[in-house]
Amino acid sequence: MFAFRDIETVQRVVSLLPPVGVGVKYGLPQSRKSSLMTPWQLFKHSNMPQKWQQREISNFDYLMFLNTIAGRTYNDLNQYPVFPWILSNYSSENIDLNDASNFRDLSKPIGALSETRRKLFKERFNNWDDPEIPPFHYGTHYSNAAFTLNWLFRLEPFSTFYLQLNDTKQFNKNSSNSNRLFHSIEETWEHCLSDTHDVKELIPELFYLSEMFLNPNNYDLGMREDGNAIGNVILPKWANNSAEEFVKIHRRALESDLVSCQLNQWIDLIFGYKQRGAEAIRALNTFYYLTYEGAFNLRSIENTALRESIQQQILNFGQTPAQLLNEPHLPRHSIMTMSPLIFKTCPNDLCMIMKFISNSPVVHITANTFQQVDNPTLITIAQNLVFALNRWNPNYNQPSKQHQSPVPPFDTEKNENSTNNTSSSTSSVPSMNQLDNSISPSELPITVDPLLAVGNPSQKLPKRHLGDSFDQRLQITSANFVCSVDSKYIIACGYTDYSFRIIETENAQVRQVIYGHGDVVTCLARSETTLFADSYIASGSADCTVVLWHFSQSTGTIAGEFNSIGELPAPRAILTGHEAVITAITVSAEHGLVISGAKVSRFLDGTLLIHTTMGDFLRNIEFNGNSSTINQILLNRDCQIAIFHGFQQKLISTTSINGKFLSSLEMPEKILSSVLSRDGEFFIVGTENGKIVIFRLFPLQLLYTYAQTDSPIRSVAISTNQRLVFGGLDSGAIVVFNVDFNRFDSSRMQQTQKRK
């Protein structure tokens, strides 16, 4: 990372820095020791390989992890993250992600996929005769600055970097230069299969950044030698001329079972035991010797001109990632092994119903059902400001057939082609006295908080009450509360003194009162976080501002400016631009973004504002013809946004983070609550007429509607294992449904059809 002279200097510098490490996200301690680990040690001590094998993380996330610890970074064009070519079919009208012939063979390097080139490169290696330079198969590399810029030159700052690299001020200087520009996916793939000087792999952006295929800045990119102008990238026919559609299908291909079962072989080539030595020779996977880490000690060369010449060669050729393992990488477990019921019809949707004696609407649910904590908990908060710590059963499995409530089964076939609100169960959830009460608590996923199981509902419980000083102007909703991931703290807003407060769940004591607004705080949001890591808290107010704070998980408080114990809480950023009461916020530490929405105002109607976590304004998104209050916002990891708005709270719109409108639909009933699935591909809403509905975020599509309850759904949540959906009812009950998002994977739906 730093060009220090020796390891001793690195150690001295690290000793002076805060204990950061790579981050707890990768299962590594946040310590100076982690900062000094070699890539091999980081791989060995991380829990990410196990998570990937057990299908707890995506293929994309795992490849980013490997790239990161191997020294690849977005901050270095010469060591940019490298991803594999996945598909081999870029010419047909349609593509079947269950057909192996549409996929590239990941057990071979890109240069050895063609038999003609394979023979050529093998002969080059065998006939090499140079006493100073070791033999190699490929004179070029699969990743270097020139390749990275050629993928991304349509976007800044890569446009400027590309022109600087080619020592020119304009793209259209000559047709030969224009002919080399990234112009077509199919053409680039064919080039990589046939050209002896082109063995490049992909970069991560091809799996999430649709804008890279467009020419948003309208650059004059010149004409090709065939007379065709260069503009947007020519996409495969199966992408329907849509960059968003291409990225969606490309990402699904990366996460498909056909890729998952052989991705470990590509990892062996790039990061593993086939990267160097005899195994690399057998796999036809050797490159020019200067591309390998440690192949040459530049500091030993005293001749400045020679040293700079070698450095320039390294920059031109590219650099091989650090080697992470010396033995074959273990394969990923089969989806049938990890989820054997995936292709079977779930015997029933309904899991259980739990009623609180107070009958107060359940306005907030947080499912902290992590197996790693001592007491996994489902936190519920009622409109009367009484919260409950409902115990999660870590040994709970899907219920057996003999203990099923009379609710229609989950019919995947019926719903697989649904695009409108037609996919709903004809029955309703049974009442409490219709349920099978013979089931023991050990067979249920949650049990009610013991303090709330008995007692007089008219009497307040001091150990479970959030206080009485809430502003009467506010309608209490799920947005008034967030919880820490360990269930130790509830952060609540809406108090008359314009504060928000951190409250200990063990005894309902106020741990900290935070002031930062000039009017009542109307909504809160917490960034994504791991179990023991810090997070951002964003607070929105009737004073039209959003304030960003740093929540310290170790102390359970909002941190001060220097993160020191005893400091007064200090905002990280104050975000302005709205002209009305803030009604919805979402914050992402991973993307460094804060997205906020406001009430309809006279000057700025229902506008969405996007800021960075550093406080910089990025853009505003307006909804022409649908100016209305924004009630809820969801942001997935692909930076696609779902906005819930409309005068009657029935509209759902989706946009990209860059403000491109994607799609919208109108529900027949008011949407009261929403939650995003862990992978960000799906979201669930609760409606005023008592329905819980599952959607795909992109393309926006209604997938399934659960049996209707007898009360509005005021809050929704998903268990950590993504197998249960919780709904908080206006009647003061919790309804729990079974869910398996794998059933909604389009390729698996096709497989299910074939099996029937």
| 38-335 CATH fold | Neurobeachin; Chain: A, domain 1 (1.10.1540)
343 token code pair: 């292709």
Q: What is the pLDDT of residues 656-700, one digit of tens each?
A: 999 999 999 999 999 999 999 998 999 999 999 999 999 999 989
Please compute the mean of the pLDDT values over residues 469-478 and round it to a whole number: 92
pLDDT on residue 395 = 81
Whether residue 716 has pLDDT greater than 60: yes
What is the overall mean pLDDT for the chain? Answer: 87
Local confidence band at 310 (pLDDT 50, 70, 90 cut-offs): confident
d(CA 620, CA 39): 41
CATH code for residues 347-358+374-446+629-756: 2.40.128.630
Q: What is the pLDDT of residues 179-209, one digit of tens each?
A: 789 999 999 999 999 999 999 999 999 999 9
DSSP secondary structure, 627-651, as one string: ---EEEEEE-TT-EEEEEESTTS-E
Q: What is the pLDDT of residues 37-90, one digit of tens each?
A: 899 999 999 999 999 999 989 999 999 999 999 999 999 999 999 999 999 999
pLDDT on residue 202 = 98
Please compute the mean of the pLDDT values over residues 484-506 and round it to a whole number: 95
Local confidence band at 2 (pLDDT 50, 70, 90 cut-offs): low
pLDDT on residue 303 = 81
Q: How far is CA 719 from CA 377, 411, 596, in A?
A: 10, 21, 26
Chain centre to alpha carbon of residue 93: 30
Whether residue 630 has pLDDT greater than 70: yes
Residue 431 has a CB neighbour count (10 Å cut-off) of 10
Whether residue 751 has pLDDT greater than 70: no
Whether residue 602 has pLDDT greater than 70: no
Whether residue 317 has pLDDT greater than 90: no
Residue 187 backbone zone (phi > 0: left; psi -120 to 50: alpha; other: beta): alpha
DSSP secondary structure, 217-253, as one string: T-----B-TTSPBP-SPBPPGGGTT-HHHHHHHHHHH
Whether residue 6 has pLDDT greater than 80: no
Please compute the mean of the pLDDT values over residues 587-601 and round it to a whole number: 91
Residues forming CATH 1.10.1540.10 domain(s) in the chain: 38-335
530 token code pair: 């791991």
Give, as one character, the DSSP assignment of residue 654. Answer: E
Cβ-contact 244, 98 below 8 angstroms: no
Local confidence band at 236 (pLDDT 50, 70, 90 cut-offs): very high
Local confidence band at 162 (pLDDT 50, 70, 90 cut-offs): very high
370 token code pair: 């992590």
Whether residue 635 has pLDDT greater than 50: yes
Please compute the mean of the pLDDT values over residues 114-133 and round it to a whole number: 93
Whether residue 421 has pLDDT greater than 60: no
Q: Mean pLDDT lowest for which of 342-346, 515-519, 690-694?
A: 342-346
Local confidence band at 340 (pLDDT 50, 70, 90 cut-offs): low
174 token code pair: 């000559």
pLDDT on residue 132 = 87
Local confidence band at 127 (pLDDT 50, 70, 90 cut-offs): very high
Please compute the mean of the pLDDT values over residues 548-571 and round it to a whole number: 90
Phi, psi angle pair for 502, to nearest 5°:
-105, 125
d(CA 707, CA 399): 18
Local confidence band at 455 (pLDDT 50, 70, 90 cut-offs): low
Whether residue 508 has pLDDT greater than 90: yes
Q: Is the dihedral of CA 216, 220, 221, 226 positive or negative?
A: positive
pLDDT on residue 601 = 66
Please compute the mean of the pLDDT values over residues 222-229 and round it to a whole number: 84
Look up the CATH architecture of domain 468-474+481-622.
Answer: 7 Propeller (2.130)
Whether residue 259 has pLDDT greater than 90: yes
Which positions ≥6 away from 563 have C-beta within 8 Å?
550, 552
Chain centre to alpha carbon of residue 275: 29
Q: What is the pLDDT of residues 732-746, one digit of tens each?
A: 999 999 998 888 875
Please compute the mean of the pLDDT values over residues 298-307 and round it to a whole number: 78
pLDDT on residue 573 = 97
Cβ-contact 750, 343 below 8 angstroms: no
527 token code pair: 């960034």
pLDDT on residue 433 = 53
Residues forming CATH 2.130.10.10 domain(s) in the chain: 468-474+481-622
| Sheet hosting strand 510-515, strand order edge to edge | 481-483, 489-493, 499-504, 510-515
Q: Is the peptide bond before 699 cis (omega within 30 degrees of 0)?
A: yes
Q: Mean pLDDT lowest for which of 139-153, 172-186, 452-466, 707-721?
A: 452-466
d(CA 626, CA 652): 11
Whether residue 256 has pLDDT greater than 90: yes
Cβ-contact 203, 83 below 8 angstroms: yes
pLDDT on residue 755 = 42
Tell which residue, 716, 641, 725, 646, has the closest CA to residue 685.
716
Residue 114: burial class (beta carbons within 10 Å; 0-12, 13-18, 19+): middle
- Name the percent of the chain lying above pLDDT 70: 86
Residues forming CATH 2.40.128.630 domain(s) in the chain: 347-358+374-446+629-756
**Angle made by CA atoms 219, 223, 228, in degrees to the nearest 5:** 110
